[in-house]
Amino acid sequence: MADAGVVLSIDQGTTSTRAILFAADGTALATRQKELPQIFPADGWVEHDPEEIWSATVEVCRGALADAGRAAADVAAIGITNQRETTLLWDRRTGKPVHNAIVWQDRRTAPLCRELAAGGHEATIRARTGLVIDPYFSGTKVAWLLDNVDGARAAAERGELAFGTVDCFLLWRLTGGRVHATDATNASRTLLFNIHTQDWDDELLDLLRVPRSLLPRVQDNAGHFGDTDGDLLGGAVRVMGMAGDQQAALVGQACFAPGMIKSTYGTGCFVVLNTGGAAVESRNRLLTTVGYRLDGRVTYALEGSIFIAGAAVQWLRDGLGLVASAPESEGLARAVEGTNGVYLVPAFTGLGAPYWDPDARGAILGLTRDSGIAHVVRAALEAVCYQTRDLMQAMADDAGAAPTALRVDGGMVGNDWLMQFLADILGLPVDRPVVAETTALGAAYLAGMAADLFGGLDDIAARWRRQRDFHPAMEAGRRDGLYAGWRDAVRRVRGDMAA
């Protein structure tokens, strides 16, 4: 039965909603995508319309099935992966959200975060959740909804409301309101979940005044989550896998052994290191998080994020008009031997890990009369590599061992020059896989594993295929000199410009 192996992967991201239908060998049979409108109600606020998320999800799933000429009966399992931390609250009876979804980028809860930090709760929160106090995570967003939506707190106390991240909301809707569940990776980003006990933490729930009755059940990443309503896709389909986007990419990249590391280069960049059964507490302000949980066993990870990666190239294109398209940056970078000492620090919204400096702002340093467009463009690409080295060094320091290779994915990795420079600056081989859609693929693997299409992690690891690898070719002295220049540039944007 050829169709036994078809898995439908739903990838609900920040800017778009996608459905990809995968065959058992990992080939994408059909892809549908729909843009998701961003809502900016106030400075620093970002929302999504839950109904738009939902209707787009149904539309792309139906579209992908139609494009591949498949029916619901052909689909062995559905896997869901999603933008993490984005927060929803809905009425259990009607399924109607009480407010728009508050998106992970939203900063409205900064005052509450400052209060929590001032109250001395940072250490407890870090110890329980692996996270830092920041509006990024869901917990303070739930608190905001309960305090600011008319009647929400009273309804929550009566047990009438449900909280969920996007995965959980989609599962609720797909199952016609029959299942309220999430997975351990999504739960680990809420600020409410104890990553050691794998349960919601009563003390943190009290601290944020979040009633336990709001919360979903937390499941392994691979397993039976529920069945879709028959009329949605023309027949019931089992939802068998779920994971937050960066964790799904970790699975899609088959980083299953401790020490294996992947980096996703899109708008921003997320580096995730598998640390095995050990939840490594970071001394460098990286996040400790759940990599995946299978058969009740947790594999932990360290995570670092760079806020601006591909977005710097977008800025070169749209803000400065230095390139007509993102891929054009490659030719310009190649056209010069180096930047002649020019550094671009893309701290447009502050600096993420390991600096966590919200007040830093971007700068182009080291300009001379010889500096031209190619130098600035090259400096923007180089910055992505230097920032990756910042994170890799922090991770090696925390984990006590240096990774031996880096697996990469995301829109930027098509730039061969960038990949070579990355290998040069890291002094590590950089591996680019055949399937670039690793997030959707990871969700498909999790669902397919639960549906017995794959033998398990070893089987998935054996399916990983290198498209090309890049080996460090730069002389160590040059590498260290360039990196020292970067560190100096970062020092200069961090408030000591006058020094």
Which residues contact ligand ADP (rule: CB under 6 A)?
A: 15, 266-267, 310-311, 313-314, 326-327, 329-330, 410-412, 414-415
Q: Locate tokens 């929590």: which residue? A: 116
The C-alpha atoms of residue 34 and residue 316 are separated, in whole angstroms, by: 26
- Closer to ligand ADP at the Cβ: 109 or 329? 329
- Closer to ligand ADP at the Cβ: 110 or 436? 436
- Closer to ligand ADP at the Cβ: 7 or 311? 311
Minimum distance of ligand ADP from residue 286's CB (angstroms): 20
- Closer to ligand ADP at the Cβ: 211 or 411? 411
Minimum distance of ligand ADP from residue 166's CB (angstroms): 15
Q: 367 phi and psi, to 5 degrees?
A: -70, 140
Is there a contact between 195 and 175 (Cβ–Cβ < 8 Å)? Answer: no
Question: Read out DSSP for 144-164?
Answer: HHHHHSTTHHHHHHTT-EEEE
- First-to-final CA distance of the chain: 70
Minimum distance of ligand ADP from residue 5's CB (angstroms): 27
The C-alpha atoms of residue 67 and residue 62 are separated, in whole angstroms, by: 9
Minimum distance of ligand ADP from residue 111's CB (angstroms): 29
Minimum distance of ligand ADP from residue 12's CB (angstroms): 12
- Closer to ligand ADP at the Cβ: 228 or 267? 267
- Closer to ligand ADP at the Cβ: 313 or 344? 313
Q: Where are the beta strands (DSSP E) in 141-265?
A: 161-164, 181-183, 193-194, 199-200, 217-219, 222-227, 238-244, 261-265
Minimum distance of ligand ADP from residue 450's CB (angstroms): 26
Is there a contact between 313 and 266 (Cβ–Cβ < 8 Å)? Answer: no
Closest residue to ligand ADP, Cβ-based?
Answer: 411
Kind of pairing between the strands at 430-433 and 406-409: parallel
Minimum distance of ligand ADP from residue 16's CB (angstroms): 7
Other CB atoms within a 10 A radius of the CB of residue 371 amount to: 16
- Closer to ligand ADP at the Cβ: 314 or 349? 314
